[in-house]
């Protein structure tokens, strides 16, 4: 039982970071209709910027805040300079541009910080907390709690504030939003800023768990099964789906993989199934698209990736 | 209150939609802007509120003055803050948001007195009271038309413009819509412009009539001089 609880806590911690990143993708899609494949690059760059700010001697909180602000600026820049001129371009062309941004940002980080993984500065205290026999490191605990708080805070902001209402109006019907005096283009810029900022914080939290490397950008690919599962346009769905996927990966790694390996060892010469948990998100993606294309929380008629 | 002086407008830089359009509207009037389909009524209303640039159009010459100050080239948000509200054709609202949120969103441009205007909207459209938490998407065409008029009221307009509010509505609903327009004009003292193709009821309410055809104002007359035959002649020509 303790082992199961251990898997649950680890799954929720990682899943909450997935959710944070996926919420950013959904936000951009709702407000600007763009499927942003560069979100993984924003995640990675946020972590590198926190790293750089820490190297300058800033305390962790300031380093993360500075990275968040810089990432928000990069988000606005990406929207204004790259995406806005492509407003009337075909969807596929816009998707290709976001892929291009992913490659460019990754190449820039490679040029500045090199290809090797870097030791990420310690942001959270060492050690672990024991709760009902379950050990959870402060890293996992803080990353999980912070991600969930940020996600809930963001959902609350979107649901209950005037700016959130303007964002929802611009996403629902830009023509009507204009007519009631909402600067729709500013709302789109704000969505990109918030999305990139969230991704930057998510990247920092992931780096505290898994270390800092260019591979952090791959998280963007895991976020896509999350948003398909949650429904492409549902922010709450992205949160729940992120947590579900984290749990699923944790249980696959801790329970399913060893069971399958035992079975294979008994009957075949295969001894390992490798990182099966890496495959799970995409298997889930295919299953969801086949069985419930609108995702768990999406409505029929929502566009699919 | 509103003066449109020799305005020209084009779409895609080439297609002329308005040619030397001029009109003058005094405070407290209810103006009927009549014209056949494609005459330029919608373009004129969008030119006034600054929405043309968002639909690949632009005002290329002339000026639009509201309360003595030019609004030509202003962003719709600025025009809305100055006190002009446009109820667009197609009942443009936020169908995924609740009715209360639709009304609240429309008040963001002018938050002072929003609570009073909210009560006023519910007074004019009592059916909304029972449905405030429901998504706007569940409303029927007529109810949606009432909601978008309510949203316009929430923005605290001095000049309310309605673009073909009767389009696609049953005669009973058209009657209700014009009842509300008439009450808003009479009781709330709003200056109103209603663009329509032809509605006999509108001619009874209007204090002034402009007729648009092929992007030009072809007639300006008091409603008493505007007969169905004259309108037919203009439309057929």
Residue B237: what pLDDT? 66
For A76, the 3-state DSSP assignment is: helix
Q: Which residue of A has its CA nearest to B148?
A: A176
Q: Is B234 on the interface with A (CB under 8 A)?
A: no
B12 dihedral zone (left: phi>0; alpha: psi -120 to 50; beta): left
From the candidates A179, A184, A188, A297, which should be mutated to test the interface with B, based on the most B CB atoms within 10 A?
Answer: A179
Q: Which residue of A has its CA nearest to B136?
A: A172
Residue B141: what pLDDT? 84
Q: How far is A203 from chain B (nearest CA, A)?
A: 32
Nearest CA-CA partner of A12 in A245, A172, A180, A208: A245
Q: Is A5 on the interface with B (CB under 8 A)?
A: no
What is the residue whose two structure tokens read 């924003």?
A42
Residue A303: what pLDDT? 43
Q: Is B75 on the interface with A (CB under 8 A)?
A: yes
Q: Give the number of other CB atoms < 10 A from CB of residue A11.
A: 24
What is the residue whose two structure tokens read 């898994």?
A210
pLDDT reading at B24 higher than 60: yes
**A91 and A59 Cβ atoms separated by less than 8 Å:** no
- Encode pLDDT of B155-182 as tens digits: 889 999 999 888 878 888 888 888 888 8
For residue B55, what are the CA distances in angstroms to B1, B13, B62?
A: 26, 11, 19
Q: Which residue of B has its CA nearest to A167?
A: B105
Closest Cβ–Cβ partner in B95, B96, B109 for A180: B109
Spell out which residues of chain A touch residue B76, defining contact as CB-CB under 8 Å: 178-179, 181
For A35, the 3-state DSSP assignment is: coil
For B80, the 3-state DSSP assignment is: helix
Q: Is A168 on the interface with B (CB under 8 A)?
A: yes
- In the predicted model, residues of chain A with pLDDT beneath 50 are 301-305
Q: Is A52 on the interface with B (CB under 8 A)?
A: no
From the candidates B83, B91, B92, B147, which should be mutated to test the interface with A, based on the most A CB atoms within 10 A?
Answer: B92
Q: What is the largest CA-CA distance in chain A?
A: 69
Residue B210 phi, psi dihedral angles, 5° rounding:
-115, 140
Q: Is A176 on the interface with B (CB under 8 A)?
A: yes
For the stretch B141-145, contacts whose Cβ atoms lie closer than 8 Å and that sit 24 or more positions apart, written own/partner, are B141/B91, B141/B168, B141/B169, B141/B173, B142/B169, B142/B170, B142/B173, B142/B176, B142/B177, B144/B91, B144/B93, B145/B91, B145/B169, B145/B173, B145/B177
Residue A298: what pLDDT? 67
Q: Do A180 and B105 touch (CB under 8 A)?
A: yes
Pairing of strands B84-87, B30-34: unpaired
Residue A300: what pLDDT? 57
For residue B172, what are the CA distances in angstroms to A19, A113, A200, B38, B131?
A: 50, 71, 56, 26, 21
**A195 and A32 Cβ atoms separated by less than 8 Å:** no
**B120 and B188 Cβ atoms separated by less than 8 Å:** yes
User: CA–CA separation, A152 vs A301, rounded Å?
Assistant: 26
Q: Do B75 and A183 touch (CB under 8 A)?
A: yes
Q: Torsion over CA of A150, A154, A155 and A156, rounded to 10 degrees? A: 100
Nearest CA-CA partner of A223 in A39, A47, A75: A39
Q: Is A87 on the interface with B (CB under 8 A)?
A: no
Helices (H), chain B: 41-49, 76-82, 99-107, 114-124, 141-154, 171-187, 200-205, 228-236
Q: Is B89 on the interface with A (CB under 8 A)?
A: no
For A121, the 3-state DSSP assignment is: coil
Domains by residue range for chain B, with CATH: 27-54+75-236 (3.40.50.300)
Q: Do A182 and B105 touch (CB under 8 A)?
A: yes
Q: What is the largest CA-CA distance in chain B?
A: 49
Partners of B210 in beta bridges: B33, B220
**Contacts of residue A81, Cβ cutoff 8 Å, sequence gap at least 6:** none
Closest Cβ–Cβ partner in B80, B95, B105 for A165: B105
Structure tokens at B134: 């429901």
- Encode pLDDT of B100-145 as tens digits: 999 999 998 888 888 999 998 999 888 899 899 999 999 888 888 8
Q: Do A180 and B97 touch (CB under 8 A)?
A: no
Residue A302: what pLDDT? 46
Q: Which residue of B has its CA nearest to A184?
A: B77
């Amino acid at each position: 039982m303790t082992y199961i609880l251990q898997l649950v806590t680890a799954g929720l911690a990682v899943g909450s970071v997935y959710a944070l990143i996926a919420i950013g993708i959904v936000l951009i899609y709702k407000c600007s209709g763009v499927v942003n494949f560069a979100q993984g690059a924003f995640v990675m760059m946020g972590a590198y910027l926190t790293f750089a700010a820490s190297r300058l001697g800033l305390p962790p909180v300031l380093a993360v805040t500075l990275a968040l602000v810089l990432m928000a600026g990069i988000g606005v820049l990406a929207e204004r300079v790259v995406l806005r001129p492509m407003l009337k371009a075909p969807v596929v062309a816009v998707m290709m541009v976001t892929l291009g941004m992913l490659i460019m940002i990754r190449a820039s980080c490679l040029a500045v910080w090199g290809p090797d993984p870097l030791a990420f500065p310690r942001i959270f205290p060492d050690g672990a907390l024991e709760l009902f026999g379950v050990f959870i490191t402060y890293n996992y605990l803080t990353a999980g709690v912070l991600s969930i708080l940020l996600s809930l805070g963001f959902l609350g902001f979107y649901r209950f504030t005037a700016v959130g209402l303007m964002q929802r109006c611009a996403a629902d019907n830009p023509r009507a939003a204009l007519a009631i005096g909402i600067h729709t283009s500013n709302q789109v810029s704000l969505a990109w800023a918030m999305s990139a900022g969230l991704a930057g914080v998510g990247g920092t939290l992931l780096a505290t768990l898994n270390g800092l490397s260019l591979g952090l950008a791959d998280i963007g690919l895991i976020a896509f099964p999350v948003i398909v599962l949650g429904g492409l346009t549902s922010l709450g769905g992205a949160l729940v789906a992120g947590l579900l996927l984290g749990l699923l990966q944790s249980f696959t790694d801790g329970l399913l993989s060893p069971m399958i390996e035992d079975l294979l060892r008994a009957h075949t010469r295969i001894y390992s199934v490798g990182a099966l948990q890496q495959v799970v998100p995409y298997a889930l993606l295919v299953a969801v698209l086949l069985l419930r294309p609108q995702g768990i929380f999406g409505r029929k008629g929502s566009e699919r990736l | 209150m509103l003066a449109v002086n020799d305005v020209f407008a084009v779409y895609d830089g080439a297609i002329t939609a308005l040619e030397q359009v001029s009109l003058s509207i005094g405070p407290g009037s209810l103006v009927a802007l009549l014209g056949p389909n494609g005459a330029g009524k919608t373009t004129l209303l969008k030119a006034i509120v600054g929405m043309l640039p968002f639909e690949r159009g632009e005002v290329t010459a002339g000026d639009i003055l509201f309360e003595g100050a030019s609004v030509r080239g202003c962003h719709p948000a600025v025009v809305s803050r100055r006190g002009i509200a446009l109820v667009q054709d197609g009942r443009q609202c936020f169908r995924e948001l609740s009715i209360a949120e639709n009304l609240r969103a429309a008040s963001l441009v002018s938050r002072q007195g929003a609570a009073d205007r909210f009560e006023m909207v519910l007074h004019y459209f009592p059916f909304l009271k029972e449905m405030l938490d429901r998504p706007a998407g569940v409303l029927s065409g007529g109810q949606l038309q009432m909601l978008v008029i309510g949203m316009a009221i929430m923005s605290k307009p001095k000049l309310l413009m309605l673009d073909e509010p009767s389009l696609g509505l049953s005669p009973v609903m058209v009657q209700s819509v014009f009842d509300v327009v008439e009450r808003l004009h009479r009781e709330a003292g709003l200056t109103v412009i209603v663009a329509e193709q032809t509605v006999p009821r509108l001619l009874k309410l209007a204090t002034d009539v402009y007729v648009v055809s092929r992007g030009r104002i072809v007639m300006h007359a008091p409603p008493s001089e505007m007969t169905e035959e004259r309108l037919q002649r203009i439309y057929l020509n």
